[in-house]
Amino acid sequence: MTATPGLPLRGARNPGSQGALRHLNQERLVEFLLANGPSTQAELARGTGLSTATVSNIVRDMAMKGVVATSPVTSSGRRALLVQLTDTGDIAVGVDFGRRHVRIVLCTLGYEVIAEEEVPLPLGYDVSGAVREAAELLDRMLLAGAHDRQSVLSVGVGIPGPIDRRTGTVLQGAILPEWVGVRLRDLEDVFRFPVVVDNDANLGALAEVTWGANRGVRNLIFVKIGTGIGAGLILNGQPYYGFLGITGELGHTPVTDQGVICRCGNRGCLETIASTTVMIETLGHRVNAPVSTADILQRGRDRDPAVLRVVSDAGIAIGQAIGNIANVINPELVLIGGPLVGLGDALLDPIRRGIQHNAIPVIADTTAVRISSLGDRAESLGAAALVIQGALAGNE
């Protein structure tokens, strides 16, 4: 299933010509670029411990040999040189299964997106049918780009639920009950590629520090607010999986003593009062007509008081749960993802108030809270990043 040893390792160590990598320091730069995506020379120096002069010399050498490409950018208001690996022909595939869609991205080891497509899935879709549909979409995308199947390193798949890394199965608690018990080896049989899987919130967090505006942040919580409320963690610069791989279950913080029974088996969990499902249900009582997340977005932008109140109540509760966690893991940054992020400050402000309520003052004052920089692309881009990083780790 997820084991990186099973990954094909072609190209991971020699993304340029082997001759170009004869020096250890070059290898360190390449490994850093593989792990972190396009980086400025200053980031390369900080990340590898090499001097800026050494980095600059090696980058010039590698650029001449075609291993990397450089482009001028602005970083923290200063001019900088962005360095990225050039194309080796190897392809990482990222697949994101949502509640009503599957999205696929193809990209290079240098974190360049080659192709990207999304197709809708019916609500409550049959999982094996959806996986077949995704495999066919991937085949069509490869064909359209004239990409050899041999060039695919492996397929990263994002699943909306907790994954037990001991057994490689989706656990009870998946947003989509159809996914429960799916063995991830089954995915390999359908895709006919090696597959790595992860939870969608974990992939969102990974995408933010590899593809997103938050590259280089070492301690980050990515909170996805949707049908469920889950968090992905980057700690000490690495995706964090804990003992069994069942991390970030923020939605199951009990918040009310006599609340309703939650799908996890506990009672009064955050999800039972603050998920988009509950918001939709609560608002539906008033209008006596089905409400969708799109309605919440639209009416929220129109400043409908009921929508703002429901979002605010949910946001405060979510913020309080985040505050408890921030007190313990002291993140630099909390990123909010999921279908409601278009609400902007109407969603962020109550979350910030909740954090302020529960976190000790120095933590509340120093923890940045922002909307995810990648929107609905985060999970699929994170799945592709998992493939790139897995290939690297498997080769060390």
Residue ranges binding a copy of itself (CB under 8 A): 162, 164, 171-173, 218-219, 231, 233, 235-236, 238, 240-250, 252-254, 264-266, 320-321, 324-325, 327-332, 357-363, 366-367
Q: Which is nearer to a copy of itself, 2 or 84 (CB)?
A: 2
From first CA to last CA, the distance across the chain in angstroms is 20
Q: Which is nearer to a copy of itself, 270 or 383 (CB)?
A: 270
Minimum Å distance from CB 22 to a copy of itself?
19
Minimum Å distance from CB 324 to a copy of itself?
5
Q: What are the E-state strand segments in the chain?
A: 39-40, 68-75, 78-85, 91-97, 101-108, 113-120, 152-159, 163-164, 169-170, 195-199, 220-225, 229-235, 238-239, 333-337, 368-371
Identify the helix (H) or strand (E) that includes residue 391.
helix 378-394
Minimum Å distance from CB 64 to a copy of itself?
31
CB 40 within 8 A of CB 66: no
Alpha-carbon torsion 385, 388, 391, 395, what sign? Answer: negative
CB 221 within 8 A of CB 231: yes
Minimum Å distance from CB 336 to a copy of itself?
16
Minimum Å distance from CB 271 to a copy of itself?
11
Minimum Å distance from CB 84 to a copy of itself?
27
| Radius of gyration for the chain, computed over Cα atoms and rounded to the nearest angstrom | 22
The conformational region for residue 49 under phi > 0 = left, psi -120 to 50 = alpha, else beta, is: left
Minimum Å distance from CB 340 to a copy of itself?
21
- Joined together, the tokens standing for residue 107 give 């990209």
Q: Which is nearer to a copy of itself, 113 or 393 (CB)?
A: 393
Burial 288-301 (b: 16+ CB within 10 A, else e): eeebebebbbebbe
How long, in residues, is the chain?
Answer: 396
Minimum Å distance from CB 396 to a copy of itself?
9
Q: Which is nearer to a copy of itself, 179 or 240 (CB)?
A: 240
Q: Which is nearer to a copy of itself, 236 or 288 (CB)?
A: 236
- Joined together, the tokens standing for residue 99 give 């509640």
Q: Which is nearer to a copy of itself, 251 or 339 (CB)?
A: 251
Alpha-carbon torsion 84, 87, 92, 93, what sign? Answer: positive
Under DSSP, the state recorded for 252 is: G
Q: Which is nearer to a copy of itself, 36 or 247 (CB)?
A: 247
**β-bridge mates for residue 77, sequence order:** none
CA dist., res. 154 & res. 23, Å (int): 28
Q: Which is nearer to a copy of itself, 114 or 235 (CB)?
A: 235
